[in-house]
Structure 1
Amino acid sequence: MAIEFEGTTDPTGLEVYDSIEQRHLHVRTSTPVAPRTGDGERFCFPVDTTCTVETGALVFDQTYSVSLHNDAGRTEANLDVGETARLEDGTQFVGLSGPIRLYCRVEATGTIEVGLNSIRLSFDDVVPIELGARSLHERPVGTITTPADPEAMMEAIAVLSSALKTTTPERTWPTLRGHPPLIELGDEFEAPDAVERPDADVTIRVPPAYQSVFQVAPLAFYLGADVRPGVEPTLETPQFEYPLAGDDRLEDVVAGLLKRFFFLDCLVRTEGLFQYDLHERAVLEDALPFDLAETYAASLPEQLESYLEVPLESIEEYVPRWPLTAHVPAEPDSVELLPFVVNELGVVREPRGSSLDAVSNVTNPGASFVRSASARRSPSIAPSDDERAFVVPDVADESIEHAWFGDHVPQSASKATIEAYQNQLSRDSRSESIEILLVCNDARMLGEHDLLDDAYGKRESLPFDVHSEFGITTDRLAELLTDGGYDFLHYIGHATPDGLRCSDGDLDVRTLESVDVGVFFLNACQSYEQGLALVKRGAFGGVSTLRDVVNEQAVEIGETMARLLNLGFPLRAALEIAREQSALGEEYLIVGDGSTDIAQSEGGAPLLVELERREDDKFDFAVRSYPTKGFKIGTATESTLETITDRHITPNRTPFYCVSEESLQEYLIWTEIPIILDNRIYWNNGVGAVTID
């Protein structure tokens, strides 16, 4: 059972325990309580476990977002700090969004008070209160074992959807899509008792071939579909059959359906439990061939049949940018990657591209120096012994990140490894401070260190503990990497494929048994192999280089990356923006998990503001939102600029809205956010006016 309730006496109250996420929540009560098993059918919301207690008050000694819902689950109010609300006779639900999602079903009069450090529900008498809890389920609940046969893998892939909390359009909300269970190869199929596919009346049939089975995994997960062998790829429901084969590749058809179904569900969900204004709905509702309210009330097969009436081309410009495309080899071991890819609803494609024997190095005669540890720069760089070749992937611009799995070293894509994902499964909860290690091993690069020291640690609500080291030895660097326990390493210096330059030689990370570093940025020439070694020995992901990098440009991209990571942008988003703002292009690449971050963004998904000048002392204003581990695709995001309404589906870019400089400055005074104007990035610390002339 994911959630357990237990009464406590000192202090009196209720202990709520999430065995998946290892989270505890204590609720104080006015009198001792003995929780009784409740009925989950009495809740409008997906819950894992319920109980009933009798008390005159519930007190939460933390601040959570609080929502008040009617008896049908529709949101009636959202309460902020300092606000109160009255509970009237009749069934109402109080929702609390914390480390464990909690709902209180109340049929009594009382008061909700949201204080600065606590939330109190007081009732006019001692009354029965029903509580329902749901795990945020960001970790897998268990492991499925499957033989290497493609038909056996179909069963394993089908039950990945056991992580769905619902099969209604609300599953587009990230908190209602838990992390799928893991998959590993074994002699026979075996799944934990808690792993069970929802009854969704949807089946996907594909030929029993690895590539076909892998490519339908994200769609099968999202629809809660069974996966069965078939001669021709087909989507089947009691209402219709839809061919997945034709002139287009299977991967293209599946990707198109996933995007279409997900996006239209995002529009339809606005008629559900959480009703709100949405930009995409306002633009498209009148052009859709179905009624949103009627579609919300329909069965899943009926919804899908309606969605198929909408050509993807007619809505494509409004569909959110996909966070991830995974290029997965058609090999048995690749099945173990799928739970991590599916967790992000990543599109799965066959790895295709053009092989290279070497990549051209960068030459810039005007540069002061490059960050190469070699005495001479070679015109090209050959791949290391454990790699087959460099490859230029055949990719379309459909996702923020293209993750290349396998042995090749990619250009224009990330080098993804299963170790990067597995390393995070044992990650503990973040402490109150984020431990950052800055290593500067060349005195000529102290300017970058000083910029970074200023960039990190400027958020009072999430303080950074920055530790700097200069000109250190190989033994000292090895000690810091293996025993330091740092959340983030920013290395400034020189590198070769065989090591990171230290005062007494090169440290080859491949000689270390393990490292205790979460995320890294190796801002040095040719640091790819060392970054890959960090990931394979314990790190989650980071940024490395394939070629030599010019120092001036390395300083620029280093500062940009640091500031964006500080604001909660994940690696994939930070690197995309940094590339746009630098003359450097393919020199830098992500190694490991591109969704990794070092800080949580404040107030939702991280935003980038784009401004264009107008002639009337006004600006055209738009935002780009990016997904994170906490705010995945499907999150609703808005800028909070009072003069416009721009709530949209993340990740995406809003249209431009005309705003006055006065309203823009008022927004920027209180908002810490990066700004793009005239192709230049400005940094706003959220205090005082911003110079945008």
Structure 2
Amino acid sequence: MSIDIDPLSDAAGLTVTDHIENTQFEVYTDRPVEPAASPEDAHYFPVDASVTVETGAIEIPRVAVVETRCGDGTLLTRGDSYAMPAGTYHVGIDPAPTKLYLAFASPFSVSTTERTTRIDLDAPAEVTLGFRSLHQVPAGTIETPTDPESLMDAVSLLGSALQTTSPERSFPTLRGHPPLIEPGEEFRVPDRVEPVDSGIRIVVPPEYRYLYPVVSLAYYFAADVVPGDPPRIEGDGWTHPLEPDFERRTGEVLRQAFHFDCLARTEGFYPVDLHERETTDLDLDWGRLYDLPLAERLGEYLAVPFERVEPELPQWTLTTDVRPDPENVELLPFVAGELSIVRSPETVTPAMASGGDGLGFFRAPRADTASLDRDEFVRSTAGTEPTRGADASADRGAVAADTDFVRPEPVDTVEHAWVGAGVPLDANKATLDAYHRRLEAGAVEQSRISVLVVCNDEQMREEGEVADLYGLRDMVQFDIEVRHDLTREEMRETLQSDVDFLHYIGHVDDRGMQCTDDYLDLTAEDLDVGVSAFLLNACQSYQQGEALVHRGSRGGIVTLSDVANSPATQLGRIIARLMNSGFNLRAALYVAKRELITGHQYIVVGDGGTTICHSRSGIALVLNLGINESNSWDLVAEGYPNGPYGVGTMSNLNLEKDECEHVIPFQIHISDIKMEEIDYFLDLENTPIFFNDDLIWNDEPARLRALQQR
């Protein structure tokens, strides 16, 4: 079973551990309980595990929205403070690290405090609790020849994973993971992969450069992809052109249709006050649109010019560049499943070692260290002593001398991934084996999050203090270990261990990781890797980090050049705090780059969506604070999808001025907030805050007050 439910040892309640998502949380009761297994069909929505306890109250340590349905599933009410009379109820509590449902027959009330949500029954009764992991797996693997026309048939089945064609599929839990695709001599489809007749066709020329950019559309619209020209989307009685500027228009269709679905779904099972619904100035009958079949609804969506809605759309999260090569077909389901905007560049600009593009230090084996302080050592090696500044030896580098660095075209999204040959600057180098490990996650035995900090250089001990920054959470149990000066054999054993996150501080070159007695080359064929995710905070660690992914890791952050010690230490501490706060690798590096220009010397390899834990609120939240002329606070909150809380998740801020739900990704502007409300809000969760462009944290009140006086 992927979910374990055990009694708390030191309090009244339950510990719930989801081994797939590496999450753990506590549910409190008003008396000690012994959970008894109960039927999973006791709940209105599907669950992975169900237990029954006798209690007079259920409480979780987070502020949540409680949704109440009657016995037949009809939504009665939702909120954080209300009472219900006698009856039989299905109750959902959201957000929680897993889907959490209650079933009971009793009058009850809902209340919240600054940190908790509580359900009190009028008298003790049997309460059945259901839990569903937010992890999703594909139904099977489609085998297909990799010529474009054959591949179109496979891409046409990506939408078979959708659990509904209604606007509710904009919720991540109702989309499902697309079936996998792998090359084969003949076209074969597993029995469990059944096509959905949505009535939508996507017509594109049979070329990879046209097929790859429509994979997210094919998945989200459950569309048939067929050969033809010019590129277009068709439904019964309507056609929407995808030219001129094909890739741009495919991205616009995805953003607009998804946004409109989020607005229309408020007419269905979730009639909430949605901020985006209130601010979208369009004279559309959302109730009628909700009831239309998918193809008719999409046709009416696309009849609205994109220019009319573009100013109201949030910044999309992810763009993925997929080179138009047949060897990249296996990554398409993962790209589509993330609802990524997709481009397929036929040509790419190389990042040369010379030529005035300012990227000479990205080209191995020589490193341009002219920008480094001559009094600061860098994290490369020369003999056994750390070298300093421009005198750093460039004879060795972790990136092979013939490595091709590429400069992808800039993106308008928060995150950027690259699929194909070459090492991308400022983008996540995505790999197939890392994505497959995302699906394989869950075969773990420990219920605690394990973090190992390894420091193999005495002069870098200051960064070793990052161990204090992991485990700051009050809802997640961390096992944190710091080790110094490991030998080659000790490092090999460390990499083989079942560690959730490795934070390595030291030296790396093309011989491998420097240990006290020798180098450990991570590209060696006999190396077994159990570490799930990592930060290799050392000079030119790309090749060794890529080897970790190939050998067993999901993903990590690596460097493309020599990095000076002080900014590397600073970045390491920022990444530690962000990973501890539930950010994934891509989002963590994105935030770090806002603070440090040297962050552009780092990239993500493997699965950039990898997290080691979830934040209290589930999403990745960045706050931007400022003081206005009236001496009150202005807030801009940016929410990014993260892990199972994907694009389309609803969330709201725990502020009096924010009474509506918001669709993730979002950017919320709230003005004139009083000091005491900001203080209360910042105390709820440890979150990165940009104040006058300086990065601070909620638990640094002295810095916040000092910056306020500037």
Using the size of structure 1 for normalisation, the TM-score is 0.84
Q: How does 1:532-551 map to 2 (within 5 A)?
A: 532-551=546-565
8 Å CA contact 2:492, 2:527 repeated in 1: no
Alignment of structure 1 residues 16-415 onto 2, 5 Å: 67-69=67-69, 75-78=75-78, 85-88=84-87, 94-95=91-92, 110-111=106-107, 136=134, 138-244=136-242, 246-249=243-246, 251-284=247-280, 287-351=281-345, 352-358=347-353, 359-360=360-361, 361-363=368-370, 364-374=372-382, 376-377=391-392, 384-385=399-400, 388-396=403-411, 398-415=412-429
The secondary structure found in structure 2 opposite 1:510 is coil
Q: What is aligned with 1:6?
A: none
Alpha-carbon distance, 1:633 to partner = 1.0
- 1:614 pairs with 620, 628, 641, which one? 628
Q: Structure 1 residues 207, 689: closer, same or farther in 2, change over 3 A?
A: closer
Query: Helix, strand or coil for the counterpart of 1:654?
Result: strand
Contact 2:22 2:449 in 1 (8 A): no
Instruction: Kindly provide the amino acid, as one letter, of the partner of residue 305 in structure 1.
Output: G
Q: Measure the CA separation in 2 of the matches of 1:395 and 1:515.
A: 34
CA distance in 2, matches of 1:153, 1:60: 54
| Contact 2:35/2:53, CA 8 A, preserved across alignment | yes
Q: Which deviates the most, 605-614 or 64-73? A: 64-73
SS in 2 for 1:586: helix
Gapped regions of structure 2 (runs ≥ 5)? 3-17, 24-32, 354-359, 362-367
Find the aligned partners of 1:448 and 1:30 in 2 and give their Cα distance: 44
- The one-letter code matched in structure 2 to 1:369 is F
Offset of residue 166 of structure 1: 0.9
Contact 2:652-2:658 at 8 Å conserved across structures: no
Whether contact under 8 Å (1:604, 1:637) holds in the other structure is no
CA RMSD of aligned residues (A): 4.1
Question: Residues 156, 57 of structure 1: CA spacing in aligned structure 2 closer, same or farther, 3 A cutoff?
Answer: farther
The answer for the alignment partner of 1:495 in structure 2 is 508
SS at match of 1:547: coil
How many angstroms does 1:480 deviate by?
0.4
C-alpha contact (below 8 Å) 1:665/1:689 kept by paired residues: no
Q: How much does 1:156 deviate?
A: 1.4
Q: Deviations over 1:626-679 (max 9, x none)?
A: 211121111122221223346422123222422111211122233322211111
* Counterpart code for 2:405: F
Distance 2:612 2:131 in 1: 28
> Is the 8 Å Cα contact of residues 400 and 510 (structure 2) preserved in structure 1?
no
Q: 1:299, 1:526 → 2: CA distance?
A: 53
TM-superposed deviation, 1:524: 0.8
Counterpart CA distance in 2 for 1:341 and 1:459 is 31
Code of the residue aligned with 2:459 in structure 1: it is R
Cα 1:356–1:378 shift into 2, 3 Å: farther
| Cα distance change, pair 185–349 in 1 and its aligned pair in 2 (3 A) | same
Query: How far apart are residue 95 of structure 1 and its match?
Result: 4.4
Contact 2:397–2:540 (Cα < 8 Å) also in 1 = no
**Does structure 2 conserve the Cα–Cα contact (< 8 Å) formed by 1:669 and 1:690?**
no
Shift in Å at residue 685 of structure 1?
A: 3.4
Distance 1:407 1:207 in 2: 24
Distance in 2, matches of 1:32 and 1:580, equals 48
Secondary structure in structure 2 of the residue aligned to 1:509: coil
Whether the aligned pair in 2 keeps the contact of 1:327 and 1:350 (CA below 8 Å) is yes
Please report how far the alpha carbon of residue 386 of structure 1 lies from its aligned counterpart in structure 2 after TM superposition: 8.7
- Structure 1 window deviating more from structure 2 (140-149 vs 484-493): it is 140-149
Correspondence for 1:436 among 441, 451, 461: 451
The correspondence of residues 539-688 of structure 1 with structure 2, limited to 5 A, is 539-645=553-659, 647-685=661-699
Please say if 1:508 is aligned against 2:516: no
Instruction: Report the Cα offset of residue 183 of structure 1.
Output: 1.0
Q: Equivalents in 2 of 1:560, 1:57: separation in Å?
A: 44
Q: State the one-letter code of the partner of 2:69.
A: H
**Does the 8 Å contact 1:671/1:685 carry over to 2?**
no
C-alpha distance after superposition, 1:324-371 (max 9, x if no partner): 211112222211001111111012211342113433234323542111
Paired residue secondary structure (1:242): strand
Separation in structure 2 between the aligned mates of residue 433 and residue 133 of structure 1, nearest angstrom: 19
Which residue of 2 is the match for residue 14 of structure 1? none
Separation of aligned partners in 2, 1:30 and 1:429: 24
Deviation at 1:173, TM superposition (A): 0.8
- Whole-angstrom distance in 2 between the partners of 1:60 and 1:101: 19
Find the residue that maps to 2:608 and give its secondary structure: coil
Match of 1:486 among 494, 499, 503: 499
Tell whether the 8 Å contact from 1:523 to 1:544 is kept in structure 2 after alignment. Answer: yes
Output the CA distance in 2 between the equivalents of 1:367 and 1:330.
Answer: 46
Within 5 Å, give how 1:519-530 maps onto structure 2.
519-530=533-544
Bigger relative CO (Cα 8 Å, ≥ 6 apart): 2
Deviation at 1:497, TM superposition (A): 3.4
Contact 2:321 2:418 in 1 (8 A): yes
- Check whether the contact 1:102–1:133 (CA below 8 A) recurs between aligned residues: yes
2-structure distance, mates of 1:333, 1:478: 32
1:221–1:342 CA contact under 8 A, matched in 2: yes
CA contact (8 A) 1:613 1:620 kept: yes
CA shift, 1:585, in A, is: 3.8
Worse-matched range after superposition: 418-427 or 546-555: 418-427
CA distance in 1, matches of 2:196, 2:337: 17
Q: CA deviation at 1:21?
A: 10
Deviation at 1:176, TM superposition (A): 0.8
What's the offset of the Cα at 1:73? 5.6
- 3-state SS, counterpart of residue 371 of structure 1: strand
Question: Counterparts of 1:60 and 1:340 in 2: how far apart (Å)?
Answer: 41
User: Does the 8 Å contact 1:432/1:462 carry over to 2?
Assistant: no
- Tell me the CA shift for residue 138 of structure 1: 1.3
Name 1:422's counterpart in structure 2. Answer: 436
Deviates more, 1:668-677 or 1:574-583: 668-677
CA separation in 2, counterparts of 1:372 and 1:383?
A: 9
- Identify if the C-alpha distance between structure 1 residues 655 and 315 changes in structure 2 by more than 3 Å, giving closer, same or farther: farther
8 Å Cα contact 1:498-1:530 kept in structure 2:
no
Judge conservation of contact 1:57–1:120 (CA < 8 Å) in 2. Answer: no
Q: Which one-letter code corresponds to 2:376 in the other structure?
A: S
Contact map agreement 1:21 1:139 (CA 8 A) in 2: no
For the structure 1 residues 382 and 21, does the alpha-carbon distance in structure 2 shift closer, same or farther, using more than 3 Å as the test?
Answer: closer
On the 8 A contact 1:543/1:591 being kept in 2, the answer is yes
In structure 1, runs of 5+ residues without a counterpart are 4-17
Distance (Å, rounded) in 1 between the aligned partners of 2:415 and 2:481 = 31
Aligned residues with identical type, % of pairs: 38
Equivalent pairs counted in the alignment come to 654
CA–CA distance in structure 2, aligned partners of residues 32 and 320 of structure 1? 43
Secondary structure at the aligned position of 2:415 is classed as strand
CA distance in structure 1 between the aligned counterparts of 2:58 and 2:164, rounded to whole angstroms: 30
> Residues of 1 paired with 2:37 and 2:510: CA distance?
63
CA 1:302–1:144 in structure 2 vs 1: closer, same or farther (change >3 Å)? same
Deviates more, 1:230-239 or 1:501-510: 230-239
